[in-house]
Structure 1
Amino acid sequence: MAKRDYYDILGVSKTASDDELKKAYRKMAIKFHPDKNPDNPEAEDKFKEAAEAYEILSNADKRAQYDRFGHDGMRAGAGGQGGGMNMDDIFSQFGDIFGGGGGGSPFESFFGGGGGRGGRQRKGSNLRIKLKLTLVEIADGVEKKIKVNRLVSASGVTFKTCTTCGGSGQQKKVVNTMLGQMVSASTCSTCHGSGKTIDQRPPGVDSTGLEMKEEIIPIKIPAGVAEGMQLSMSGKGNMAPGGGIAGDLLIVIEEKEHEELKRDGNNVLFDLYISFTDAALGTSIEVPTIDGKVRIKIDPGTQSGKILRLRGKGIKDLNGYGKGDQLIHLNVWTPKKLTSEERDMLEKLSKSDNMMPKPEKGEKGFFEKVKEFF
């Protein structure tokens, strides 16, 4: 089943500001929160759907990616974006939306800091790297092994129960309201919701129990990715203190320029220059493609500006809809310098009626020919 548009889910326009997005999501989260709609799978689905939409649109990079590629761009790569959020991911957003961070947010006051789920798990920060790919690697996809320095849980660290919250991850207090006394719960300011604090740690380990280590991470890049596209590997970012949820590894694609070929969507373009004699007499010539050199035939009487198509010699579509083509633009090269002998020969040829330009009746112009290919 096709996913709904993220803007439609939140009920905002594509030009909505950050404040408008936040306000719309807050309204949806309160309306469909599981604690307010117990045993209601439909409400829970809408709750998750709204959280996913806000997670993408509230991030400038992800929003730009979504605006450009839609849902296909979000799910590209290992881990993907969208459809992978769990309740811990969703509740980790509430500090931004409802003013959390241990200060007794309005949302926590209404719903007990996540509905009595034992405190909100912390999430590690995301890591972002750039990955340069050649046109050949982009054409058919490629597997890479990348080096990443990330924070991981250090060995030799011991924990103890947080004395502030007693291991619950929440601090509770009685609040007087117009409806009487109510218990307000907020994330513990000491352990930040994990329910544990560090007891002992070895030298070189930071105060959160994490240390920096280099890891080799394999990643499969799908065919058809484009410059600026962002892929995501869930859980491959920095780990969270106290055994929380690891962040994501975000991979931003950069395209290396090919020496001879140019990319145009899923098609590949190549400018081929041939001599006047080859154009007039015809010839065969090797041209580069993504898969290596191939020999093509130039028919006698070929005109400058003609476009040849090599079907299936382009780039695989990101969504699996076949491959693009290679388009070869033929250019008849005019020599800038001539020998006296060459000049004499050309002057004799110029007097021939056959050398005068005579466009065939109904022949299409260059731009009309180009349009036929797109």
Structure 2
Amino acid sequence: MSIATTLAVVLSSAALAAGTAGPASADSAKVLPVTSVGDIVVDGVHRRVYVSDPTGGKIVVTDYTGAVRATLTGLPGVSGLALSADSGQVYAAVKNGNRIVSVETGTYTQTASYPVGAAPGDLEVVDGRIWFAHGTDIGSLDVSGAEPVVHLAQRGDVGFSGGFGMYLASDPAVPGVLAVGNGGDLAVYDVSADGAALRVKGSMDTAVRQIDLTPDGAQVLTSWGDPEYGYGIGAYAATDLAEQTGYPIDAYPNAVRVAPDGSVAGGSSSWYDPDVHIHRPGDQTPVREYDFPNTGNSSGADTLVEGALAWAPDASQVFAVSVNTYGTYTLRALSDPTKELPTLKVSAPTKSD
């Protein structure tokens, strides 16, 4: 075989091997000492990840590699987590205690416990005020004054339904705006004043699993999983909730989070397909996808826990929590999520003289 022919064969093989970029794997993965996962939030200032464990009644704090740095206990049913604008406090919804606690991020010390008169769920901080879901309604906690102020039942004329999760969304770049999703209902509120003023309400064809607000304030993004209407991340105009072009992903969508630069991370519970899908704003083709390995005892791989996605504030990493068939939870750090994987394409002659 001539040298030219040999080189052509080698290069052709290289093209077959590297011509298409496959799903990426996590850069680090550490098993979490939890029995359930309620929420995940990232403190970029201290480079810490907070994961709530409702069943275990605790919050586990890790560094960016997943190494446990602290465990906060005595929090029965703790679920929703939210970070203050200055990253000084993490607020946690203690559902079984009808309270919201505040944890100082530098020392992991509980600094306050605020009774709210209802079982709080999902949390969002908007302009310093802590908003929380309770039942099929929303409430707020204001701790800026000498005494905490709680307001319940602020949903207004929106028919949120029982039997579905209540999901809240906001963005630091969009002051005074809170989005709420429940079942097939969406609503956007103006919360710049003392209370929630309903801006717009609407309905969808499917039930949401999580929602988020884009940093330009233009869209509310939702995850859905009804095969009748197709899989993907839904997009709705924040002004009138008109449906817009979303982001198609594999079955079954169960998480969505938007980075400060507008990049979208969509999650799906997929045994045999990628689990995390990264999209540039407005681009339906993912720039990166991550496929979890199989650490259990079935043919399917580990799956993403519903809603267990979070961006590092600088968009350098996405953190995800997976679970296997043994009920083992793993924190996975996905690096360079917005960096497209390189591909190698080589053309070679089909034959040589």
- TM-score of the aligned structures, taking structure 1 as reference length: 0.24
Higher radius of gyration, 1 or 2:
1
Higher normalized helix content (fraction of residues): 1
Q: TM-score, normalised on structure 2?
A: 0.25
Higher strand share: 2
